[in-house]
Structure 1
Amino acid sequence: MGGGPGVGPGVQAQPSYPGMAPPHAAATAPQRRRCCVLQVTTYFKFEVSHHTSTLKYHINFNFEASHNVAALCAGAGYGGGAPGGSYGAGPGGFGGGAGAYGAAPQGAPAGPAAPAAASHAEQLPGIHEIDITIQADPRVMRMTVGEIPSSASAHAQCKLPIGAIIQPMGLDDQIPPYGGCEVVNFGSQGIVRCKRCRTYINPFVSWMNNGRQWRCNVCGMVNDVPTSYFCHLDANGMRRDRDQRPELAYGSVEIQAPAEYMVRPPVAPVYFFVIDVSANAVNTGMVAAAVAAIKACLDRVPGDERSQFGLITFDGSIHFYNLKSTLSQPQMLVVSDISDLFLPCPDDLLVNLAESRAVVDALLDALPQMHRAARSVDSALGPALNAAGKVMAHLGGKMVVFCANLPSLGEAKLKHRENPRMLGTDKEHLMLKPDEPWYQNKAQDFSKLQICVDLFLCGAQYMDVATLFQLPSKTGGQLFYYPGFNVQRDGVKLQAELTRVLTRATAFEAVMRVRATRGLRMSNFYGNYFIRGTDLLALPNCTPDSVFGVEFAYDEQVLVASVISIQAALLYTTSTGERRIRVHNVALPVKTVCQEIFNSVSIDALCNLVAKQALDVALTSGLDAARARIQDVCVEILRATRGGGYGGYGGAQQQPAGMPEAIQLLPLYSMALQKNPAFRGGAEIRPDERAFIMAQLVNMPVDDSRCFIYPRMFSIHDMPADAGTPISAEAAAAEGMPTAGRSTLVRLPPVVNLSAERLTSDGIFLLENGVGLLMWVGRAANRALVASLIGAPSLEGLDTSALALLPAAAQPGGSSGDACARVNAVVAALREERAQHYLQLMVVGEGDGQNEHRFFWHLVEDRAPFPGGGMNYAEFMQHVTRQSFGG
């Protein structure tokens, strides 16, 4: 929160109070924030005590478990049971963890049998020995704090959650100013890593013995420098070739992985589609929209000439398609007995896309017509998933599933469990939990087979989103939901989001491990993954839209290091078949003064993590408990600031003048989060909608959650003449101008507070909440301007659900046409920033019943008649301030 698009991540905006500019209105020059990482490693420990007359020495010998790769590949998979997971092991294990994930691959040297003894008080690199200005980009790793409390007691005193929001592929959008990492090839010497904890060499290690040894910044072990990697040190103790070594000069690098980091040779990328062709799917236009988007993307999918393609359809039966390249037309084979499923022509169901392109195109062109007379209302989703899994089992890959009905046939059929009487009660959260364990079990099986599921739900009725979400949730996939799908309204959104899924950079067969300097440990993960062991995240796919939250806890009462280093490493296969290890590093100073720690807070990352924590509470204990958790975090932090030397700030004041500047927005955002559709009370949000919102939030990056928690509302009718026009990044930084966009920065209109008092009948307001756009049009708004925007001078008598913003090209000249062009530019820039989801625009008229009511949901500074919404901002500020004083 703090700062709108175009503001550097981590830049703090001024607080928003009635009568003041809202937080998104402030912007300053970009600044870089610090990020964090952590490792949990299991060792065998032996303690030897030596007594003298005056001294007692305690020495801990740590021996890393060493295993043969056979242990890792038990069942032919990287976690067991999978025919060919590519990863999970590097020399001594990819992550150096215990059990299967600490295994050494065949042909690679096993972990050292007896590494050097290490005292628990072993030195770690000091802050004076490293260049702490070298950090991973905050777009890939952002910490909730920029400085770490020096002890567990100091952490308990300041009450700040310590965690990181990690987006390991966040630099891969290939849109300026984004770009990939520097690539490093260590050659025949092998990758330089710590022999004990397996940390990758990075900018925060220290150098010893004139460059012949280096000290690990995670565990403190002294490692010998390979002869071919040796370089003398300069007068500051830094390697003289540091600027020529990306792994020492940059916070993020991409390492080429040698053969010993593979369990099997790289396989071709697989794109397999499972499409519902029941009557509902065909009649709503879902099938036609999906196949049109698939065909349009075939020339852009990553993987060049190696890509594999397959497709099945289902209703009450399963329909297979022979796509052999020698055929002139695809052949459809129907299996009606879903209880005894088999694969007809198994060798021709998954084909090389380039070789069979003509047959694939013919199938996609014919598919809507082939099923145009569909009468079946049944859905055999479970058997269809089984069939697709059998086809993909030997390769893994991406499975894209389209479903328009509640699964009703075969195994994994679901019952209609939506109960309106449970809405708004203490039992509502039971409908937000998965019901049928089959989907979670199947997702775990898919994860072992390196199959990722991206799920598109387009049902007109109840779908049990909470249960079906288990498929993408455990396989590194993503969920998309279009309630009451209508192709005129939702077709563009579906095609845009499917295009993003198929064309974005993708890491296949990935695993991720996070490490941190001794004294910290990971206590929780958030995101779409399946965890193996204690700290290895299995990710059949990882993309620029994959986001993970990591929460840290203290492993020791006192941190012995003066700087904490955190490293996140993603081991994966590129779409072109290369093994890579993407490594992100951050370092944070250790502080003893709470005031300094409070001033280092990233309010955006903090609230993102708190929201993810609250989701867990909501699913286990209910929405009331989740809102209480959000408020308790706020109150505890406010109370802790007084112990940090800030004093009181008055229960009656709206502006928390005595509060640390970095957290002045915390009360506002805490109130807004409680009123968010993910957590708000009442009976207005159906279980499917809330489950989808929760699924979005758990995988939401910091830049999106800023507006998801506290939306931005722009005044359109009186926007300045330069709003909606391009501006350079340099000029925006110099002017402090809020902007949006990636390929081109666009000036944004004025931002107003989220209160109904700001709305006027002659006004037009555009609201963005991170996942969608709403345009509120007053009854007395300028008729020429309204006509230029939507094609009619007023909304009276119109079905607003079908309205869309007119393209600028359709407008004549003049002031209204110019305004329409600039509004289009603003909308396009906002959509470009939110690449993960297409921001669909809903037009809302003043007095427009239910639609206007939903618009008012986002005006979080006002009172609202639902549990969690009973206070406006001034009242909430008084309330939490009084509570922080023990009142």
Structure 2
Amino acid sequence: MASALALAPQTKKRQRQYAPEQAAAYSGVDAGGLTQQMDALSMDNTNSQPVAKLLFHEDLSPPYTHVDLLSYTPDPADLIITHPPLSPPLGSTISPATIDLARRYQTPTLSSVPVSDTVLKQTSLPLALTITPHPSIHNEELPLPLAAPDGVIARCQQCLAYINPYVRIVDFGTRWTCSLCGTANTIPAEFGFAGRPAAEVYASRVELTHTVVDFAATQDYSRAPPQAPAFVFLLDVSEAAIQNGLFALAAQTIADFLRLGADGLPNKQQRTRVAIMCYDSVLHFFKVTPETFGLLVVPDITETFLPLAHPDVLVNISQDGVRDTLLRLLAQLPSFFLPGRGEDKSATGVAIDAARELLASAGGGKIVLVAASAPHVGRGALEDSMKTEETKSAATFYHDLAAACVNGCVSVDLFLVGPRYTALPSLSLLPHYTGGLTMYYRDLGDKTKFSVELGRVLALPCFYEAEMRVRCSRGISVKAMYGDFFLQAFDRAVFASLPPDRGYAVELQIDGRLAGPLAVVQTALLHTTTDGQRAIRVITSALPVTHLAAEVLASADAGAVVGLIAKRAVQRRPIGSDDDLRDRVLDKVLENMCRAYAQEMRNGAEMQLRLPSNLRMLPTLLLSLYKKLSTQGRLASEQAFDLAGYIRATMSSASLKGLIQLIYPAVYALHTVDPETDLPTEPLALPLTSEWWEFHGVYLLHSGDGQRVYIWVGRDAVPQLVRDIFGPGVAGYAELLNGPAELPVLNTAVSRVARGIIARLREGINWPTMLVVKDEKAMHEWVEAQRMREEVVMLLVQDRVDAPRPGLRQVLVGVHERLRKA
């Protein structure tokens, strides 16, 4: 295989930038060469172009190329991964398009599976899948096909796998051989193979032609009637929440959302129920009737109880008069809890437990917690919330509370607002195990962000009372599962709620020598939709088996590998020191992979710091992951624990696409936009290093976590460029102000591009705040400047900011030296 290597890595040419004196045209480079579609960094690979051909029934070796890591310049364009196209098995009616669709739902770290664990260990690569079972469906996309509308669901009698396109129909259409365990099963008579052409039968049964399908669940898959949507709005009314305006803003946002009617809370079957609860050092329940509302206070937080039966507190918003009563209640809530009450204690843990009991007695639902302070009193209180991340007793309490929530089909969404410590590391155990969401805000400076995100979370088409099971073909088993769920068995996870675009990682192990040409992995997700329909989503992936470690290396997906490492690193266990973290997610990983590649290529020292071209962005992604998780170099404030907990919670729940954007966010040079173009194009994303930045440039940088969008303006920016972005009222750089801003709607190319990028970044749940950052100091002095500049420089992955936060070359040289000594 070594003879097939291309030994001449190409060095990318730096793109030319116009000088500041050229005010008439601040971009002179070719627009076609500098622009790309706005979805260029998407990890959705359904439209990827083939770079190598791997057939299921032919052993063809792809052309291998490698990259010298010390001379390679990281390029975000290399994150657009192209995978070898997989052809269907001989005689199958499955289309290549549906094979690629399975990759969107579950992306493998290896597109070729090693035949044995020995071959896998030779590569030092993990065998795993990153699964997004509930991605958002865009307007142009067709919904998934519905299988078994007649109620006939064919499953293997041995391993319980669902029938799929990779099974073999044998014995003249009377039996099918399971693609996972090889068991022969009887084909249901309803399939109609007897007396009908096979092509006609396949056309009528989408489960035989599509790798991703939804089965209409029968009564056998339901223990009780489908869960109706139910929401308990649990509002913090301590002095901190009232003083910073959070309580009033939350009440107003919920009221505005209830007014939307059909466009608000999911209520297609008119079964949605709502309850309003408040808490400080005591609990406040509100009874709502079509005519009026009343307040009941429970002062005993040692042994809490519900003062009323759940139908009096948790009310159906479709009942005549109830919605109007709720709106009156929410309008008057701020007058019930005025500033200066002197109550600055929060019984957060007790309040969540009471809300859980309320929902569990009604069949389950969602707790939406809006809080501005940490738990101070009652069960789950922290001893010193400003200086201690979490106590052992508090962690145990929230873990047990999360398990109780899962048993009652109750999920928890957190909306936590600083600047005080909010105990996010402890409280985030609840959404972690129940499948909820964690939203964090350093302050309420951008009220639009909070209101928009709260409304979007409430409107999400979540799956409820869900259970996910992963099954593998013979010789492969599930080793571990990572993500936000409650693990009931090594291969089965349960969710009280499953929001769209959440990601999970499943690490696999090879138990013996694989016998067949295919390795098949099937994920089944049993769930209830917001419309009250019980369904099973089945995703089936089949990958070719190879005997060659070189083919395994050449088929690896750098993004998926880093996705697994990230999920594994943020699991709920002590992460240890930064040195230990660096070993586990950076140095040792790179060292082992480079050594494995050198040994496989049999080129000794010459190959010690090279990787296959498909893994060329792996060092950069690993360094970025380490910097995101490292505690050193962070802002020294009482919010440090909350910020660290928020990053961990975001990584734990993010899809693969969202995870890559979080650890390697995009930066765009706005001054390279052609002023004469009318096309909706954007500049190429630049490497995250200051070496590419110019003092006359204007750059748009996304923080990746949904919190911020920065527009960095160089001190020598052309005045016309500044006016084309910020409006004619801004004469130039000197009149710009640091801080929050919104771009005006202007009829200029650069304005359209910038607003288009920001609108794209605001499409999901998050509504990032836009901040203007002026370059009033040199790049190397930013780390000593104010917080915004420090936040920006922390996003520049390849720069060496200080010793504990190394630059890319420093890492690579260290790995190279250790390999040479070894």
Scaled by the length of structure 2, what TM-score is found? 0.83
Does 1:619 find its partner at 2:585? no
Whether 1:359 and 2:294 are equivalent positions in the alignment is no
**Cross-structure match for 1:701:** 655
Q: How far did 1:511 drift?
A: 0.7
Counterpart of 2:234 in structure 1: which amino acid? V
Instruction: Determine if the alignment matches structure 1 residue 581 to structure 2 residue 536.
Output: yes
SS of structure 2 residue aligned to 1:553: strand
2:307 aligned partner: 344
| Residue aligned with 1:751, SS | coil
Other-structure match for 1:553: 509
Distance 1:518 1:432 in 2: 44
Name the residue aligned to 1:378: 345
Identity of aligned residues (%): 27
Structure 2 equivalent of residue 763 of structure 1: 697
The answer (yes or no) to whether the contact 2:130–2:505 under 8 Å persists in 1 is yes
Q: Given residue 349 of structure 2, which amino acid in structure 1 is its aligned partner? A: G
1:775 aligns with 2:775: no
CA displacement 1:347-374 (0-9 Å, x = unmatched): 3100111111111122222223332335
Per-residue deviation, 1:524: 1.3
1:321 corresponds in structure 2 to 286
Asked if the contact 2:368/2:413 (under 8 Å) is kept, the reply is: yes
Superposed counterparts of 1:112-191, under 5 Å:
131=94, 133=96, 134-135=98-99, 136-170=101-135, 173-185=136-148, 187=150, 190-191=152-153
- The counterpart of 2:547, out of the listed 592, 613, 630, is 592
Paired amino acid for 2:537: R
Match of 2:811 among 876, 879, 882: 876
Match among 435, 438, 460 for residue 476 of structure 1 = 435
Which whole-Å CA distance do the structure 1 matches of 2:92 and 2:601 have between them? 31
- Determine the structure 2 residue equivalent to 1:231: 193
Alpha-carbon contact 2:575-2:581 (below 8 Å) kept: no
Matches within 5 A, 1:633-648: 633-645=589-601, 647=603
Deviates more, 1:339-348 or 1:250-259: 339-348
**Is structure 2 residue 58 aligned with structure 1 residue 23?**
no
1:603 equivalent in structure 2: 558
The aligned residue for residue 517 of structure 1 is 473
Alignment of 1:448-463 (within 5 A): 448-463=407-422
Once residues 352 and 68 of structure 2 are traced to their aligned partners in structure 1, the CA distance between those partners, rounded to angstroms, is 49
| Residues 16 and 604 of structure 1, relative CA distance in 2, 3 Å threshold | farther
In 2: Cα distance, 1:233 partner to 1:647 partner: 61
Question: Aligned partners of 1:711 and 1:16: how far apart in 2?
Answer: 24
1:642 CA drift (Å)? 2.5
Please say if 1:819 is aligned against 2:781.
no
- The alignment status of 1:830 with 2:761, answered yes or no, reads yes
**What's the offset of the Cα at 1:393?**
1.3
Secondary structure class of the residue paired with 1:153: helix
Q: Kindly indicate whether the alpha-carbon contact (under 8 Å) linking 2:518 and 2:543 is maintained by their aligned counterparts in 1.
A: yes
Report the CA distance shift for 1:758/1:687 in structure 2 as closer, same or farther (over 3 A).
same
Deviation per CA, 1:631-683, whole angstroms, max 9, x where unpaired? 2122212222223337468489xxx7x63221122222222322x22235346
Q: 1:616 to 1:140 in 2, by over 3 A?
A: same
- The 5 A counterparts of 1:285-434 are 285-298=245-258, 299=261, 300-304=264-268, 305-325=270-290, 327=291, 329-346=292-309, 347-355=311-319, 356-373=322-339, 375=341, 376-394=343-361, 395-416=363-384, 419=387
Matched-pair contact (CA < 8 Å) for 1:725–1:825: no
Gaps of 5+ in 2: 1-37, 52-65, 778-784
Contact 1:439 1:470 in 2 (8 A): yes
**Structure 2 CA distance, aligned partners of 1:524 and 1:249?**
30
Change (3 A) 1:825 1:562: same
Contact 1:779–1:794 under 8 Å retained in 2: no
Partner of 2:494, secondary structure, is strand
Q: Secondary structure at the match of 2:716?
A: coil
Task: Please say if residues 638 and 881 of structure 1, whose CA atoms lie closer than 8 Å, have aligned partners that are also in contact.
Answer: no
Match of 2:11 in 1: none
In structure 1, give the amino acid aligned to 2:271.
R
Q: CA deviation at 1:312?
A: 0.4
Q: CA 1:526/1:233 → structure 2, altered by over 3 Å: closer, same or farther?
A: farther
The answer to whether 1:197 aligns with 2:159 is: yes
Q: Is the 8 A contact 2:381 2:394 kept in 1?
A: no
**Which amino acid is the alignment partner of residue 148 of structure 2?**
N
SS state of the match for residue 409, structure 1? coil
CA contact (8 A) 1:682 1:866 kept: no
Structure 1: gaps spanning 5 or more residues? 36-124, 421-429, 727-746
State which drifts further: 701-710 or 510-519. 701-710
Which deviations, in whole Å up to 9, do the C-alpha atoms of 1:228-270 show, x marking residues without a partner?
Answer: 22416999xx765223321111111111111111111123211
Distance 1:167 1:598, change over 3 A: same
Residues 198-245 of structure 1 show CA distances to partners (whole Å, capped at 9, x for unaligned) of 10111111111011111111111111112222416999xx76522332
Task: Encode CA deviations 1:416-469: one digit per residue, 9 max, x unaligned.
Answer: 25549xxxxxxxxx7698953111111110000000001111132122221111
**SS across alignment from 2:741:** coil
Q: Which amino acid aligns with 1:366?
A: Q
Once residues 374 and 474 of structure 1 are traced to their aligned partners in structure 2, the CA distance between those partners, rounded to angstroms, is 37
Q: Which amino acid aligns with 1:344?
A: P
Task: Provide the rounded CA distance (Å) in 1 between the counterparts of 2:85 and 2:652.
Answer: 22
Partners of 1:491 and 1:666 lie apart in 2 by 38
Please give the alpha-carbon distance, in whole angstroms, between the structure 2 residues aligned to 1:138 and 1:886: 40
- Distance of 1:150 and 1:506 partners within structure 2: 38
1:464 equivalent among 404, 407, 423 = 423
Counterpart among 207, 210, 214 of residue 254 in structure 1? 214
Question: Which residue identity is paired with 1:352?
Answer: N
- Work out whether residues 93 and 209 of structure 2, in 8 Å CA contact, stay in contact via their aligned partners in 1: no
What's the secondary structure of 1:444's corresponding residue?
A: helix
Is the aligned partner of 1:443 residue 2:379? no
- Specify the code of the residue in structure 1 equivalent to 2:655: P
After superposition, residues 81-100 of structure 1 pair within 5 angstroms as: none
CA contact (8 A) 2:466 2:494 kept: yes
SS in 2 for 1:217: coil
Following the alignment from structure 1 to structure 2, what is the Cα–Cα distance between the partners of residues 404 and 127?
A: 60
Assess, with a 3 A threshold, how the Cα gap between structure 1 residues 547 and 285 changes in structure 2: closer, same or farther. same
* Distance of 2:808 and 2:395 partners within structure 1: 41
Instruction: Find 2:671's aligned residue among 691, 701, 717.
Output: 717
Aligned to 1:543: 499
Q: Is the 8 A contact 2:483 2:504 kept in 1?
A: yes
Q: TM-score, normalised by structure 1?
A: 0.78
Distance 1:34 1:699 in 2: 29
Secondary structure of residue in 1 paired with 2:232: strand
The residue type equivalent to 2:624 in the other structure is: A
The code of the aligned residue for 2:400 comes to N
Kept in 2: contact 1:342–1:387 (CA 8 A): yes
| 2:812 is the counterpart of 1:857 | no
Q: Does the Cα contact within 8 Å between 1:680 and 1:866 map onto a contact in 2?
A: no
**Structure 2 residue identity aligned to 1:779:** R
Superposed CA RMSD: 3.2
- 1:786–1:435: structure 2 CA closer, same or farther, 3 Å change rule? farther
- Specify the alignment match of 1:211 in structure 2: 173
Q: Give the whole-Å Cα distance in 2 for the aligned partners of 1:768 and 1:432.
A: 34
Does the 8 Å CA contact 1:213/1:225 hold for their aligned counterparts? yes
**How far has the Cα of 1:33 moved from its partner?**
7.5
Whether 1:670 aligns to 2:622 is yes
Cα distance in 1 for partners of 2:607, 2:816 equals 5
Moved more, 147-156 or 385-394: 385-394
Tell me the secondary structure at the aligned position of residue 210 of structure 1: coil
3-state SS in 1 of match to 2:104: coil
Report deviation, 1:140.
1.7
Question: What residue identity is the alignment partner of 2:814?
Answer: H
- Residues 457, 480 of structure 1: 8 Å contact kept: yes
Name the amino acid aligned to 1:302: P
Post-superposition Cα deviations, 1:605-632, rounded to whole Å, max 9, x if no partner, equal: 1111112223349724333212111221
SS in 2 for 1:539: strand
Deviations 1:158-204 (A, max 9, x none): 1111111111111xx3423445311122535x311001111011111
